[in-house]
Amino acid sequence: MSSLSHAEWLRTTVEEILEPSLEIVDPHHHLWDFPTNPYRLAELHADTGSGHNVTQTVFVECTWGYRTDGPEHLRLVGETEHVAAEARASVAAGGAEIAAIVSRADLTAGAAVEELLLAHDAAGDGKFRGIRHATAWDADPAIHETHTRPGPGLMGTAAFREGFATLSRLGFSFDAWLYHPQIHELTDLARAFPEATIVCDHLGGPIGVGPYAGRRDEVLAAWRPQMTELASCPNVVLKVGGIGMTSYGMDWHRRPTAPTSTELAAAWGDEIRYCIDLFGPDRCMFESNFPVDGRSVSYAVLWNAFKRIAADASPSEKAALFAGTARRTYRIA
């Protein structure tokens, strides 16, 4: 791989699109302006237009386009403003529509977070649906702490829960990005706020690097009972994906050629089907997590892998997994 650009490396595996007419609502992607790895509407549409029937998408916060002036606590609204503009352009361009926006807010602001949430809503051009306050943290310093620098036990603190109560009262959803040792904290939160819509991102974050490297069986043995408990909360929906993230320890990105959908399905099929059995198709949604997962696999191959994993599902189950659950959860018309 070292002699190839990343784009060239991804093209070492090209596949025929499986079930090309199956509608997909991709409920998790980012946009950003990183100089070495830009991912804006052109790149998104190149991916969503690569063969699968992706009709709509959901943007999830990634620290892009914050305001550089004005009140400090409202600067996060800049991301919503930028994405709303991209969403309008997505319609004009005729590709997949950016149909919903999940922005960032600091819930530890307590009840005062209401001003920010309403500002996001006003800036979102009718597409703002909720927030993600990432809490991914691990006691081992070798594990990357997420961009919010949350520290341990954040979801159980009084300040966070006061902010969460405000979010729920206003009818907005909460996306949770955490690591697998923290799943029980999300379960506690979901039980404390049964009226809230909670989305667990990326299969609950089973780590495979640092002290967890080479211990996949142990990690999954710890992950399964926690996912079983989380699934007992009817207000929690699961995003089924993240399987290209390097933090999951599969090292796809280190191979001489990009993985095939068959290889991805073999590596993750059992775990994904386990989750679908636990939550049910109406509470699961396949996600791309692009361009993050694009470090390991192309967009077209990733969705082929999901289709292989769901091959035995009924037509109605596929409709939920690939579009319906996302559309309902994020209130997409």
The alpha carbons of the chain give a radius of gyration, in whole angstroms, of 19
Q: How far apart are CA 129 and CA 184, in angstroms?
A: 25
Q: Cα dist. 43→96, 130, 276 in Å?
A: 12, 24, 30
Question: What does the pLDDT read at residue 93?
Answer: 96
| Peptide bond just before 35 cis, omega within 30 deg | no
Res. 1: pLDDT tops 70: no
Is domain 6-329 classified as CATH 3.40.50.620? Answer: no
240 C-beta neighbours (distance < 10 Å), count: 27
pLDDT confidence of residue 12: 97
**Where do the H-state alpha helices sit in 173-298?**
183-192, 216-231, 261-279
- Report the percent of the chain where pLDDT is more than 70: 99
The pLDDT-based confidence of 3 (bands split at 50, 70, 90) is confident
Model pLDDT for residues 215-235, shown as the tens digit of each residue: 999 999 999 999 999 999 999
* Ranges assigned E (strand) in the chain: 23-29, 53-60, 97-103, 128-132, 173-176, 198-200, 236-240, 284-286
Average pLDDT taken over every residue of the chain = 97
pLDDT at 257: 97
Return d(Cα 314, Cα 325) in angstroms, integer.
Answer: 15
Rounded-to-integer distance, Cα 271 and Cα 148, Å: 28
In this structure, what are the phi and psi dihedrals at residue 196, rounded to the nearest 5 degrees? -85, 145
71-105 pLDDT, tens digit per residue, is 999 999 999 999 999 999 999 999 999 999 999 99
pLDDT digits (tens, 9 = 90+) for 315-330: 999 999 999 999 999 9
Task: For 143-170, write each residue's pLDDT tens digit.
Answer: 998 999 999 999 999 999 999 999 999 9
Please state the separation of Cα 281 from the chain's center in Å: 17
Q: What is the dihedral of CA 62, 183, 231, 25, to 10 degrees?
A: 10
Stretch 172-199: mean pLDDT: 98
Strand partners, 130: 102, 173
Please answer whether residues 127 and 87 qualify as being in contact, where contact means their C-beta atoms are separated by less than 8 angstroms. yes
Measured CA to CA, the distance from residue 24 to residue 54 in angstroms comes to 5
Can you tell me the mean pLDDT for 8-12? 97
Residue 2 pLDDT exceeds 80: no
State both tokens at 302.
Answer: 């990733």
Q: Is the pLDDT of residue 290 over 50?
A: yes
Average pLDDT value for residue range 297-309: 98
Beta-carbon contacts of 2 under 8 Å, excluding residues fewer than 6 positions away, are none
Domain boundaries, the chain: 6-329
Question: Among 13, 44, 43, which residue's Cα sits nearest to residue 301?
Answer: 13
How many degrees, rounded to 5, is the angle at CA 187 between CA 62 and CA 29? 20
Q: Which two tokens mark 166?
A: 């405000």
Contact 210, 143 (CB under 8 A): yes
